[in-house]
Chains A and B, each alone.
Chain A
Amino acid sequence: MTRVLATRGIRPDVVAGHSYGEFSAPCAAGVWTVAQAARVTRARTEAVASCPDAAMLSVAASTPEIARRLQRGTGIYIANENARDQTVVGGTREAIESLASQLRADRIAAQPLNVPGAFHTPLMAPAQKYLREALRNERLRPARTLFLSSVTNSYTSDPDHVRANLIEQLVSPVRYVSLIERLADDGFGVFVEVGPKQVLTRLNRKILAGRKSLVLATDDPKQGSRQLLRVQAQLECLGAVDGVRTVDQGYGPSAQQAAHGAARFFDATARRREKMRFQAAARRPPALSSAASATPRLPAHSEPDEPPGSETPDHGANGSVATVARPETKPISHRRVTTHLQETPRRAEPTSAAASARDTASSETIRRLVRCLADLPEGWIDVSSELCEWIAMPRIFLHPDELEDLESLAASTDVPLSQLLTYQAAVYPEAAVRGMHAAAVSRAEGARRRMHAIKLYNTAAFAFGERWPIAPRLRTAKGRLSFVSPSLPGQFAGLGGVNAAGLAISCIPLADQPAPGAELAPRMQTLRIKRLLESAADVDTALDAIRHWEQPGNWSILLSDAASARVVLVECARSSYAVREAADVLVATNQSQLLIGTAPADDEEILPNDRLREAVRSLGHGKLTLEAMRQAFQSADERQAVEHPISARSTVCSAACFWGLEGASEQPVLGFQNNDEPWETIPLEGALSGLHAQAHGVDLPLRSPMIAEFHPAGASQAEGVVRLDPVQDIFLRDHKLRGTPLLPAVIALEIFAEAASTGATVRRSARCAISRW
């Protein structure tokens, strides 16, 4: 149910549970999975059998009143304080029956509960040790949503606190009244019961009587599935549903703000008008398009010769004329890519984003995309503090030349640097959540054929009002490896690419992993891809760099290189990562395969992966060609469209890029298709010759602070040179034995770690010189 609500944009600010609900609330908070909760529930159920025979009784009386009566009795405890006039007690069966008789005599309603024991009372103590043991075996994660404990009545996201709470609540009374009052006191105004029937909803209404709040139940047997729509509609009218927040009220109000603020008087009709106005604005043709055609273009990032800004009038059914802009420029023509690559000087001048800025047609496209981004409704882009930091202090995150490129781009496109930074950071994660990528390698009969492909499904593109002009774009910078990446104009890179040394990378966000605590690093994936492609010549070097990412984010990454014909899948999530090397085929989607996901993926999300793997495997060694790979992707798409038409329709547009070695002579080829435009292949052999030369000449950065130089030393050894200066080196100045600088042991460990990763690369380079991919 939580997942269903989430798909409708209903996401809680805090979760809490009543009694056994404290097992399901951590699921909603992402602390554990349903499967984990089920395992522990079973253990809990078995543990209860070890407790003495006991019963529970629901009484229509206040807790203080019941407590007064219990002073006279023995073996009965308060178990639940459900409402001011409803208390549940638990105790030995005889004691409960005796109390029930007394209450009947006093004309106080009391109802025995059909439960196997006296939960939330000390009578459950024998079960605690079994439950503790069962919980010890489960890996709990920090909560993504705050969890309010009914035992301590305090918020936590610490998995250990949640674990302790589950053990403690077995013998502690449920102070539900205090729990709900605490939430109300803290400003939470919307209470949604997630579960069967409306028991808690009725309790909540009683507890919150007289307070400004909205209490909703997701289940109503009389309404069926319509009840969910009612909940959604009510929250939407409050402006408390993600993705449909009001445009004119600044950053969308949270549920608690909505319940207490002006959004209570929100006009849904006006909001829908506003939404339509925004969507129309996103499709509006750019005002500056007429100026674009007059400016000369550079071939590297240029758009085709078609005049920009041309529009086709589209007569709507109601007789009014709606102006729908065709993209004023199409992505770079593949032939022009080829031509330009062939014209690339053996030592390419630095171009990168700055060069593309000189192309006015590209500039106009960039302006238009940035404007679309800025016009997105509030809340579409998660304006995290890290994103603000990135925008405010780009010098911290960017190398000087990268910042210089962006500043130059900002100047020539007349787009504020802050917006360009947002454009770099915020586009892909939302756009590529349904992506898919695959790599296959064949080592049969001495061949080292390799195919690598990525397909992005831009479910977010509708917000931009058009298909995205994603195309293969060449990026070159002095002293670094050049690379081609399917990307938007003016961006560092896309979510994949291939460099002059033959290293290919692709990555897709992992949707089933816990959301990262820090948003910036995952969003800056394109910058990381750029840096990997610029500096890594093989899989191992790239892997080493990925291992050193701080805050890696949630990504599935495929790496393949030509020199070793290896294909490796890496999955990162928060601080964990896992690696698998392929024997032949690796296919990955937005669902993790190596790491444990937070929620079990449903068939709809897993099947495309399986279908594609089946299709690629069926190609066999002899048929591993670019065209065959494209057909495999297409076949998986078509089956998806037949079996899950809704899912397939939700994809507005797609872009696919394939690269590999093909034919008897293993020629490098790049293929590309944007939506249903014609599929084209680009033979890169001639084009990459210039890049190969650059690859030979480039000095790959060692990234080793302690090791100054590295040399191959024989077939299987490498030797690194370390220089230690007691005057300059801080770790020697700050580490002394009786006043004499002493090399800290940990520096030796650091040298080993650097030597092992860097030395391995040097030794490989000595064995197989980088020639072509």
Chain B
Amino acid sequence: MLFASPEARGMKVIVAGAQSDVGCELLIDAAPGAKPSGRTTHSRGTVVLGSSGLPAIMPIGQPTFGWIPFAYPDAESIWHGPSLRAFRNLSFLDAAGWAELIAPAKSELSGTRPSEGWRLAVSLMDGCLVACGTYTYFMMNQRLEIPQGIERLQVGREPRAGERCLMHFDVLRQDARDTWFDFVVVGEDYAPLFVATSYRTVLLRGA
């Protein structure tokens, strides 16, 4: 969803279903004056409420060849500002890799919104997606890929502000258009923060 003009835009989220498995659909209101009017679907998913069932700790090892510092590029097509720069160091192998991230305080993204009640560590999660994108860029002939979908995301404990987090990912497969990843993010105590299964990115340009 792009914001070509500075006007605010609306979305609707529809929830339906059983108490524990909640179906969600996010709809975009038509831009002012746009034709046709009405709403288009942005995304759909099912949220399963309850325990994540994740183990207390998930040892994911350490980078085989040490860390390489990562700097968010200012001149690239996709630009991330200061509040979305959790990704700090990387270490890539053939079809896997590690990323080191620092979790910002969740309130950093709040701005005029309530600082409490955020369900996900959004900046940290975004850093993980950037890490996957960086992998396809550096290791796959500068393919610039953006998020397309995710089969399952299990959410563990919340990271603490300033906590050093470690991500390990595996590249599952790739075709001409998409790349699929599995990744795990743990905190300093190796407690799982996110476990993503079949995260899919789509080619924007390159290759």
Q: Please tell me if A6 contacts chain B, counting CB pairs below 8 Å.
A: no
Q: Among B10, B156, B158, point to the contact of A550 (Cβ < 8 A).
A: B158
| Chain B residues closer than 8 Å to A512, beta-carbon distance | none
| Chain A residues closer than 8 Å to B19, beta-carbon distance | 540, 760, 764
Q: Among A575, A740, A755, point to the contact of B191 (Cβ < 8 A).
A: A575
Q: Please tell me if A264 contacts chain B, counting CB pairs below 8 Å.
A: no
Q: Please tell me if A401 contacts chain B, counting CB pairs below 8 Å.
A: no
Binds A, one of B1-9, B87-95, B135-143, B168-176: B1-9
User: Which residue of A142, A160, A731 has the most chain B CB atoms within 10 A of its CB atom?
Assistant: A731
Chain B residue at smallest Cβ distance from A578: B51
Q: A717-B14, A756-B49 are in contact. Are A746 and B113 (CB under 8 A)?
A: no
A317 vs B5: C-alpha distance in the bound complex, in angstroms? 89
Chain A residue at smallest Cβ distance from B128: A746
Binds A, one of B63-71, B119-127, B177-185: B119-127
| Chain A residues closer than 8 Å to B24, beta-carbon distance | 751-752, 755-756
Q: Among B57, B81, B153, point to the contact of A140 (Cβ < 8 A).
A: B57
Least distance between A598 CB and chain B CB atoms (Å): 12
A743 vs B115: C-alpha distance in the bound complex, in angstroms? 19
A722 vs B113: C-alpha distance in the bound complex, in angstroms? 12
Least distance between A62 CB and chain B CB atoms (Å): 38
Contact B49 A576 (CB under 8 A): no
Q: Among A139, A160, A713, A752, point to the contact of B47 (Cβ < 8 A).
A: A752
A750 vs B157: C-alpha distance in the bound complex, in angstroms? 15
Q: Please tell me if B151 contacts chain A, counting CB pairs below 8 Å.
A: no
Binds B, one of A348-356, A472-480, A699-707: A699-707
Q: Please tell me if A4 contacts chain B, counting CB pairs below 8 Å.
A: no
Contact A737 B153 (CB under 8 A): no
Contact A734 B80 (CB under 8 A): yes
Q: Please tell me if B37 contacts chain A, counting CB pairs below 8 Å.
A: no
Q: Please tell me if B160 contacts chain A, counting CB pairs below 8 Å.
A: yes
Interface of chain A residues 534 through 569 with chain B (CB within 8 A): 540, 544, 548, 550-551
Q: A159-B57, A748-B26, A748-B43 are in contact. Are A759 and B15 (CB under 8 A)?
A: yes
Q: A742-B2, A746-B122 are in contact. Are A724 and B117 (CB under 8 A)?
A: no
A128 vs B49: C-alpha distance in the bound complex, in angstroms? 42
Q: Among A575, A716, A744, A763, point to the contact of B126 (Cβ < 8 A).
A: A744
| Chain A residues closer than 8 Å to B50, beta-carbon distance | 579
User: Which residue of A140, A578, A718, A747 has the most chain B CB atoms within 10 A of its CB atom?
Assistant: A747
Contact A703 B116 (CB under 8 A): yes
| Chain B residues closer than 8 Å to A764, beta-carbon distance | 19
Contact B9 A756 (CB under 8 A): no
A142 vs B19: C-alpha distance in the bound complex, in angstroms? 35
A728 vs B155: C-alpha distance in the bound complex, in angstroms? 28
| Chain B residues closer than 8 Å to A753, beta-carbon distance | 47, 119-120, 155
Q: Among A142, A575, A731, point to the contact of B122 (Cβ < 8 A).
A: A731
| Chain B residues closer than 8 Å to A702, beta-carbon distance | 117
Contact B1 A743 (CB under 8 A): yes
A721 vs B189: C-alpha distance in the bound complex, in angstroms? 37
Q: A730-B108, A734-B83, A759-B22 are in contact. Are A750 and B4 (CB under 8 A)?
A: no
A544 vs B122: C-alpha distance in the bound complex, in angstroms? 18
Chain A residue at smallest Cβ distance from B55: A139
A141 vs B114: C-alpha distance in the bound complex, in angstroms? 35
Contact A718 B122 (CB under 8 A): no
Contact B13 A707 (CB under 8 A): yes
Contact A722 B10 (CB under 8 A): yes
Residues of B within 8 A of A (CB-CB), count: 69
Q: Please tell me if A757 contacts chain B, counting CB pairs below 8 Å.
A: yes
Q: A721-B10, A731-B109, A735-B80 are in contact. Are A749 and B125 (CB under 8 A)?
A: yes
Q: A703-B116, A722-B12, A732-B3 are in contact. Are A751 and B56 (CB under 8 A)?
A: no
User: Which residue of B56, B122, B125, B150 has the most chain A CB atoms within 10 A of its CB atom?
Assistant: B56
Least distance between B47 CB and chain A CB atoms (Å): 3
A631 vs B42: C-alpha distance in the bound complex, in angstroms? 58
Least distance between B163 CB and chain A CB atoms (Å): 11
A540 vs B22: C-alpha distance in the bound complex, in angstroms? 13
Q: A719-B13, A750-B120 are in contact. Are A141 and B78 (CB under 8 A)?
A: no
A74 vs B40: C-alpha distance in the bound complex, in angstroms? 79
Q: A750-B119, A756-B22, A757-B49 are in contact. Are A575 and B8 (CB under 8 A)?
A: no
Least distance between A516 CB and chain B CB atoms (Å): 11
| Chain B residues closer than 8 Å to A732, beta-carbon distance | 3
| Chain A residues closer than 8 Å to B12, beta-carbon distance | 719-722
Least distance between A569 CB and chain B CB atoms (Å): 12
Q: A160-B59, A719-B14, A748-B42 are in contact. Are A736 and B8 (CB under 8 A)?
A: no
Interface of chain B residues 15 through 35 with chain A (CB within 8 A): 15-17, 19, 22, 24, 26
User: Which residue of B1, B13, B187 has the most chain A CB atoms within 10 A of its CB atom?
Assistant: B13
Q: Please tell me if A754 contacts chain B, counting CB pairs below 8 Å.
A: yes
Contact A722 B11 (CB under 8 A): yes
A221 vs B79: C-alpha distance in the bound complex, in angstroms? 73
Least distance between A737 CB and chain B CB atoms (Å): 6
| Chain A residues closer than 8 Å to B8, beta-carbon distance | 723-728
| Chain A residues closer than 8 Å to B1, beta-carbon distance | 724, 742-743
Q: Please tell me if A664 contacts chain B, counting CB pairs below 8 Å.
A: no
Interface of chain A residues 574 through 611 with chain B (CB within 8 A): 574-579
Contact B190 A577 (CB under 8 A): no
Q: Among A540, A730, A749, point to the contact of B153 (Cβ < 8 A).
A: A749
Least distance between A504 CB and chain B CB atoms (Å): 20
Q: Please tell me if B45 contacts chain A, counting CB pairs below 8 Å.
A: yes
A736 vs B8: C-alpha distance in the bound complex, in angstroms? 16
Contact A747 B122 (CB under 8 A): yes
Q: Please tell me if B129 contacts chain A, counting CB pairs below 8 Å.
A: yes
A442 vs B157: C-alpha distance in the bound complex, in angstroms? 34
Q: Please tell me if A677 contacts chain B, counting CB pairs below 8 Å.
A: no
A751 vs B45: C-alpha distance in the bound complex, in angstroms? 11
| Chain A residues closer than 8 Å to B26, beta-carbon distance | 722, 748, 751-752
Contact B15 A760 (CB under 8 A): yes
| Chain B residues closer than 8 Å to A750, beta-carbon distance | 118-120, 122
A267 vs B44: C-alpha distance in the bound complex, in angstroms? 72
A735 vs B123: C-alpha distance in the bound complex, in angstroms? 11
Q: Please tell me if A617 contacts chain B, counting CB pairs below 8 Å.
A: no
Contact B190 A746 (CB under 8 A): no
Contact A740 B2 (CB under 8 A): yes
Least distance between A733 CB and chain B CB atoms (Å): 6
Q: A720-B15, A741-B3, A760-B49 are in contact. Are A754 and B117 (CB under 8 A)?
A: yes
Contact B3 A159 (CB under 8 A): no
A578 vs B19: C-alpha distance in the bound complex, in angstroms? 18
Chain B residue at smallest Cβ distance from A707: B13
Chain B residue at smallest Cβ distance from A160: B59
Q: Among B55, B82, B117, B150, point to the contact of A703 (Cβ < 8 A).
A: B117
Q: A577-B51, A740-B4 are in contact. Are A735 and B190 (CB under 8 A)?
A: no
Q: Please tell me if A248 contacts chain B, counting CB pairs below 8 Å.
A: no
Q: Please tell me if B167 contacts chain A, counting CB pairs below 8 Å.
A: no
| Chain A residues closer than 8 Å to B116, beta-carbon distance | 703, 705
Chain A residue at smallest Cβ distance from B189: A142
Q: Please tell me if A729 contacts chain B, counting CB pairs below 8 Å.
A: yes
Q: A719-B14, A728-B112, A742-B1 are in contact. Are A736 and B117 (CB under 8 A)?
A: no
Q: Please tell me if B38 contacts chain A, counting CB pairs below 8 Å.
A: no
| Chain A residues closer than 8 Å to B118, beta-carbon distance | 705, 750
| Chain A residues closer than 8 Å to B189, beta-carbon distance | 142, 517, 574-575
Chain B residue at smallest Cβ distance from A748: B43
Given A730-B111, A755-B13, 5 new contacts (CB under 8 A) = A730-B109, A750-B120, A752-B43, A756-B22, A764-B19
Write 17 A-B pairs (CB below 8 A) sorted by A numbering: A575-B156, A575-B158, A719-B15, A722-B12, A729-B113, A733-B81, A735-B81, A736-B79, A737-B77, A741-B2, A746-B125, A746-B129, A748-B43, A750-B120, A755-B13, A759-B13, A759-B15
Query: Which 4 pairs show the lowest CB-CB distances between chains A and B?
Result: A734-B81, A575-B157, A756-B47, A703-B117
